[in-house]
Amino acid sequence: MTEATRVLVLNSGSSSVKYQLLDMPGGTRLATGLVERIGERSARLVHTPSGGERRERGGPFPDHRAALRAAAEELAADGTGFDSPALAAVGHRVVHGGDRFTGPVRVDDRVIAEIEALVPLAPLHNPGNLEGIRTAGALSPGVPQVAVFDTAFHTTMPEYAWRYAIDVRTADEHRVRRYGAHGTSHAYVSRRTAELLGRAPEDVNVIVLHLGNGCSAAAVAGGRCVDTSMGMTPLEGLVMGTRSGDIDPAVVLHLARNAGMSVDAIDALLNRRSGLLGLCGDNDMREVTRRAGDGDEAARLALDVYAHRLRKYVGAYTAVLGRVDAVAFTAGVGENSAPVRAAALAGLGGLGLVVDPDLNTAPGRGPRFISPQYASVAVAVVPTDEELEIAGQAYDLVST
């Protein structure tokens, strides 16, 4: 009998499905793929088997079922269809698990109903995630479906960290509290950082800075999250590509009352036209740093606002943790932008945080230190791998 060691990881959005097939527990990547613009005439699938030729095909993919069927055909052509006995699980990325899901779960009708009930908290994400769960479940009825929640890692936050200081009854009635996001990445990176330090996760305190299009910080004490910068939604916290991060909530009231802006217009302003984009007109950090280097004032200011917010969070989380063993940079900006890493920790030598300019700018891809030997706190670049983390969690769940 074939041993079931493969995990298909699905990240099913509203109009796209990303997938990866991994062999566990080693984590070897066997294939990656993407179906985009589902429901549109220009829909297409791109499938890349590891070590093989990239294959593309057009739609029509009118819905997720058609998209996943096509993905299943491509995977089957490489030897691992949705009904393959080698498939141990399908691991689904689910953005919002509320305060209910503290870890990965096997999907059943009750789990589906609960994810559905959380749609008001993640209207842009949970419906697409559910679509993927339902469709994959129908296409591979014999294979365990596992939901891995982006919020789960943050459910260990103490109440004084997750509770907003507003009327408790109103907050609880409407499930208003801090949930955080990027949890799968923070879990993976904090553990990998402990490995890099050569220590057990239980023994180290880490500040993880996940800087992609969305940005969030997490304070992780002994492997458990004790605070994170995103809140009820991913809008809170750090300055991001297009989101404002922290802002006085009265700004919303002011714009509604005095600028005549609708709730939807303010939503669009803060989520899609703010952050780096709002400050300088570009949300891609490569472009912002290039412009700043050329002396562009708006880009310079955008970088300064971005870095100042990061420094504040690093300082705050140093206080929250009491003792910090490492600060880890991850995601598109964190892994690639030496100037942002340097600016984020500039002037924090008093906290033991020093970035070595040569190590910071040296080319490298894997986990690595960028702090000098003598520094009391390690600073590291630790590439994230959310798919591997989802595959690992799903595999562990079904094989124990």
What minimum distance in Å lies between the beta carbon of 214 and ligand ADP?
A: 5
- Tell me which stretch binds ligand ADP (CB under 6 A): 24-32, 41-49, 142-150, 330-338: 330-338
User: Could you give the residue numbers annotated as active site?
Assistant: 150
Q: How far apart are CA 307 and CA 309, in angstroms?
A: 5
List C-alpha distances in Å: 281 to 276, 299, 303: 7, 8, 12
Tell whether residue 241 is a contact of ligand ADP (CB under 6 A): yes
Q: How far apart are CA 75 and CA 34, in angstroms?
A: 12
Tell whether residue 360 is a contact of ligand ADP (CB under 6 A): no
Among 22, 118, 277, 285, binds ligand ADP (CB under 6 A): 285
Tell whether residue 212 is a contact of ligand ADP (CB under 6 A): yes
- Tell me which stretch binds ligand ADP (CB under 6 A): 116-124, 137-145, 211-219, 242-250: 211-219
Structure tokens at 313: 């969070």
Omega into 60 within 30° of 0, i.e. cis? yes
Please classify residue 109 by burial: count the beta carbons closer than 10 Å to its beta carbon, then call 0-12 exposed, 13-18 middle and 19+ buried.
exposed
What minimum distance in Å lies between the beta carbon of 246 and ligand ADP?
A: 18
Closer by beta carbon to ligand ADP, 59 or else 334: 334
Residue by residue, DSSP assigns 367-392 as: SEE-S-TT-SSEEEE----HHHHHHH
Closest listed residue to residue 48, CA positions, set 31, 35, 34:
31
Tell whether residue 381 is a contact of ligand ADP (CB under 6 A): no
Tell whether residue 209 is a contact of ligand ADP (CB under 6 A): no
Q: How far apart are CA 351 and CA 306, in angstroms?
A: 20
- Tell me which stretch binds ligand ADP (CB under 6 A): 14-22, 134-142, 264-272, 279-287: 279-287
Tell whether residue 180 is a contact of ligand ADP (CB under 6 A): no
Tell whether residue 152 is a contact of ligand ADP (CB under 6 A): no
Closer by beta carbon to ligand ADP, 91 or else 212: 212
Closer by beta carbon to ligand ADP, 183 or else 241: 241
Tell whether residue 337 is a contact of ligand ADP (CB under 6 A): yes
Structure tokens at 365: 């891809």
What residues contact residue 330 under an 8 Å CB cut-off, 6+ apart? Answer: 185, 189, 208, 209, 210, 211, 381, 382, 383, 384
Q: How far apart are CA 223 and CA 202, in angstroms?
A: 5
- Tell me which stretch binds ligand ADP (CB under 6 A): 13-21, 111-119, 164-172, 210-218: 210-218
Could you list the residues that contact ligand ADP (CB under 6 A)? 212-214, 241, 284-286, 331-333, 336-337
